[in-house]
Amino acid sequence: MISVLLVDDDPMILDIIRLYLERGGEFSVTTCEGAIEALDILDNRFFDAIISDYEMPDMDGIKFLKIVRERGETSPFIIFTGHGREEIVIEAHTGGANFYLQKGGDPKKQFATLKNMVVRAVQNNGTRQR
């Protein structure tokens, strides 16, 4: 089972993504509504992958990513956001994000793409939790 930490300030988005990822039985998703809460969780738990929104009130997803990487965390990190500005995409990748996916469009295709990104990133990372 792939363990995922999902961070977004919108509880509805958290529920929808969690339900989609967990419905096949291959994912276990822990959700939190902000980066500070997520950092507290990461103090005590390892996740195979982290998915984070970009725009959140306590800390944006890029700052969260940078702190995670500064701590030595190597889990794949995916920025999943409604913001598609080029500078955010560049900053995400230079900060250590494995993937960047923009919210919007057909939800079924979007969540399938997100799921595939997680699986691919975890397989490529090779540090999967046992």
Question: What CATH number has the domain bearing residue 6?
Answer: 3.40.50.2300
Residue 110 included in any domain: yes
Which residue range(s) make up the domain with 48?
2-93+100-118
Residue 86 included in any domain: yes
Residue bearing tokens 């998915």: 51
Look at the alpha carbons of 106, 109, 113, 114 in this order and tell me if their dihedral is positive or negative.
positive
Residue 39 included in any domain: yes
- How much is the pTM? 0.90
Write out the chain's pLDDT in tens, 130 residues: 999 999 999 999 899 999 999 998 899 999 999 999 999 999 999 999 999 999 899 899 999 999 999 999 889 999 987 766 777 778 887 788 888 888 877 778 888 888 988 998 888 876 544 4
Residue 127 included in any domain: no
Q: How many domains does the chain have?
A: 1
- How many helices (DSSP H) and strands (DSSP E) are in the chain? 5, 5
Residue 128 included in any domain: no
